[in-house]
Amino acid sequence: MRRKGDLPTKVCAHCGKPFAWRKKWARDWDTVLYCSDRCRREASAERARRGRA
Ligand SMILES: [Zn+2]
């Protein structure tokens, strides 16, 4: 399953699309959930909208 040169990938928790490792995530790849800032923003906005405490 491991090929030389292949970057690790994850599936975006918001849009469900797979995305590949990027250098800007080198430090916190383990905690990255979304493919982009936009998805992260939309996901947290959605959560805020839904979560009426
Ligand atoms: Zn996404």
Residue that the structure tokens 């918001």 belong to: 14
What is the structure's pLDDT at 19? 96
Please state the three-class secondary structure of the chain as a single string.
CCCCCCCCEEECCCCCCEEECCHHHCCCHHHCCCCCHHHHHHHHHHHHHHCCC
Tens digits of residue pLDDT in 1-31: 556 678 999 999 999 999 999 999 999 999 9
| Model confidence, pTM | 0.77
Are residues 40 and 48 in contact, defined by beta-carbon separation less than 8 angstroms?
no
Q: State the distance from the centre of ligand 1 to the C-alpha of 24, rounded, in angstroms.
A: 16
Q: State the distance from the centre of ligand 1 to the C-alpha of 28, rounded, in angstroms.
A: 17
Domain residue ranges of the chain, discontinuous segments joined by +:
9-50
Q: State the distance from the centre of ligand 1 to the C-alpha of 7, rounded, in angstroms.
A: 17
Q: State the distance from the centre of ligand 1 to the C-alpha of 4, rounded, in angstroms.
A: 26
Q: State the distance from the centre of ligand 1 to the C-alpha of 12, rounded, in angstroms.
A: 5
User: What distance in Å separates the CA atoms of residue 50 and residue 45, rounded to the nearest whole number?
Assistant: 9
